[in-house]
């Protein structure tokens, strides 16, 4: 089956036969897949009144375990985002009552980010739908293929320093 990436590769082969454009096959499809995944997940998040960044913060707090409180620095590290991005996300989530900032009893100047009952209820409703969407996206691949793909993508991440 020929797709847009195949057509692009054919065009480059015709116009620049001296160049090895084979990386474009992987990167082009990876980019297109990433856009498709983001779009599908965005629909699931929107169904719950969330966006990807809000889901990420709430999910990070939930998976941190009871009492669902962590420092903003740890939240940034666990969610793999900058501390300034955390502050912006927390402002939005706090305004909606999904998280609260509390004094850190172990650090007089620090704060903890706490998942509220409302936030916990929301993420616990959204998480199964999120996983259902991820399974639907990966449906064309069997479990062995998914494991291989995860391994290969992990190697790219490692090489990129992520």
Contact 58, 68 (CB under 8 A): no
User: Where do we find the tokens 């985002």?
Assistant: 81
Q: pLDDT tens across 124-146, in order?
A: 999 999 999 999 999 999 999 99
Going by DSSP bridges, is the β-strand pair 107-115/69-70 parallel, antiparallel, or unpaired? antiparallel
On whether both 142 and 155 belong to a single domain, the answer is yes
On whether both 35 and 63 belong to a single domain, the answer is no
Q: What is the spatial distance between Cα 7 and Cα 13, in angstroms, rounded to a whole number?
A: 10
On whether both 35 and 69 belong to a single domain, the answer is no
- The number of folded domains in the chain is 2
On whether both 22 and 63 belong to a single domain, the answer is no
In the numeric block, which tokens belong to residue 4? Answer: 């847009």
Q: What is the spatial distance between Cα 67 and Cα 83, in angstroms, rounded to a whole number?
A: 22
Question: To the nearest 10°, the Cα dihedral for 20, 25, 31, 33?
Answer: -170
The pLDDT tens digits along the chain (162 residues) read: 788 999 999 999 999 999 999 999 999 999 999 999 999 999 999 999 999 999 999 999 999 999 999 999 999 999 888 888 899 999 999 999 999 999 988 887 889 999 999 999 999 999 999 999 999 999 999 999 999 999 999 999 999 886
On whether both 84 and 6 belong to a single domain, the answer is no
pTM: 0.87
On whether both 77 and 138 belong to a single domain, the answer is yes
- CATH number of the domain bearing residue 133: 1.10.10.10
On whether both 24 and 54 belong to a single domain, the answer is no
On whether both 104 and 137 belong to a single domain, the answer is yes
On whether both 5 and 64 belong to a single domain, the answer is no
Going by DSSP bridges, is the β-strand pair 99-104/107-115 parallel, antiparallel, or unpaired? antiparallel
On whether both 93 and 64 belong to a single domain, the answer is yes
On whether both 10 and 80 belong to a single domain, the answer is no
On whether both 30 and 78 belong to a single domain, the answer is no
Domain residues for 117? 50-160
């Amino acid at each position: 089956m020929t797709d847009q990436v195949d057509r692009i590769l054919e065009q480059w082969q015709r116009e620049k036969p001296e160049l090895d454009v084979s990386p474009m096959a992987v990167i082009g499809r990876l980019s297109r897949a990433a856009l498709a995944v983001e779009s599908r997940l965005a629909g699931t998040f929107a169904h719950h009144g969330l966006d990807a960044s809000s889901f990420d913060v709430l999910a990070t707090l939930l998976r941190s375990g009871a009492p669902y409180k962590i420092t903003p620095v740890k939240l940034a590290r666990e969610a793999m985002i900058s501390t300034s991005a955390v502050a912006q996300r927390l402002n939005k989530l706090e305004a909606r009552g999904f998280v609260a900032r509390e004094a850190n009893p172990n650090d007089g100047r620090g704060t903890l980010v706490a998942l509220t009952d409302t936030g916990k209820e929301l993420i616990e409703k959204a998480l199964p739908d999120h996983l259902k969407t991820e399974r639907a996206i990966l449906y064309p691949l069997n479990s062995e293929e998914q494991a291989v793909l995860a391994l290969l993508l992990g190697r790219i991440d490692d090489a990129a320093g992520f």
